[in-house]
């Protein structure tokens, strides 16, 4: 497998993990870090960009939710969306710092679009959250946090 294909695969898994597909980008990142054949910062950057762009898709879904909500494939159930809206209204844009979390992270990014959070603020906060998550995961994998 070429390096480009490997990085593209990591990007696609990270992208999909942030959207409607149930995937674990963390496992892929850990495997590649443990292989010790690729620069860790490059792996973190690729995973982060893919995951942030996946979250941007969620934001766009949120912006267009009224037209898409009734679609069978829509990635967020109504109860999860309601819960995320309550959370977002309570904590505002700062809740985007939890966009890395399983279960609640993706609905929060959709709700940010529903509630029309300005995209530059969305992008900044989600990038901080996703970079921190992958950075902590890489540090733990390398034993830096022992």
Read off the pLDDT of each residue in 78-90 and give the average, rounded to a whole number. 80
pTM over 0.75: yes
Per-residue pLDDT of 94-124, as tens digits, reads 999 999 998 888 888 988 998 999 999 999 9
pLDDT for residue 66: 67
Per-residue pLDDT band for 71 (boundaries 50, 70, 90) equals confident
Mean of the per-residue pLDDT values for the chain?
89
Side-chain half-sphere exposure of 116, counting CA atoms within 13 A: 1
Q: What is the pLDDT of residues 4-42, one digit of tens each?
A: 899 999 999 999 999 867 778 898 999 999 999 999 999
What percentage of the chain reaches a pLDDT higher than 90?
A: 58
Tell which residue, 128, 136, 112, has the closest CA to residue 56. 112
SS3 content of the chain, % helix, strand, coil (to 5): 75, 0, 25
Query: Tell me, what's the pLDDT at 75?
Result: 66
Segment 62-80 shows an average pLDDT of 75
Instruction: Give the residue from 84, 96, 22, 24 showing the smallest Cα distance to 55.
Output: 96
Q: Are the beta carbons of 15 and 26 closer than 8 angstroms?
A: no
């Amino acid at each position: 497998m070429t390096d480009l294909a490997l990085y593209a695969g990591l990007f696609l898994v990270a992208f999909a993990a942030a959207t409607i597909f149930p995937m674990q980008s963390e496992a892929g990142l850990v495997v590649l870090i443990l292989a010790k054949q690729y620069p860790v910062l490059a792996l973190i950057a690729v995973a982060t960009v893919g995951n942030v762009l996946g979250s941007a898709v969620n934001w766009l879904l949120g912006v267009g939710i009224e037209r898409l909500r009734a679609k069978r494939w829509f990635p967020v159930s109504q109860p999860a969306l309601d819960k995320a809206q309550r959370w977002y209204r309570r904590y505002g844009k700062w809740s985007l710092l939890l966009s890395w979390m399983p279960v609640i992270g993706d609905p929060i990014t959709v709700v940010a679009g529903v509630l029309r959070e300005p995209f530059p603020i969305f992008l900044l906060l989600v990038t901080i959250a996703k970079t921190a998550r992958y950075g902590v995961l890489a540090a733990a994998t390398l034993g830096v946090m022992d």
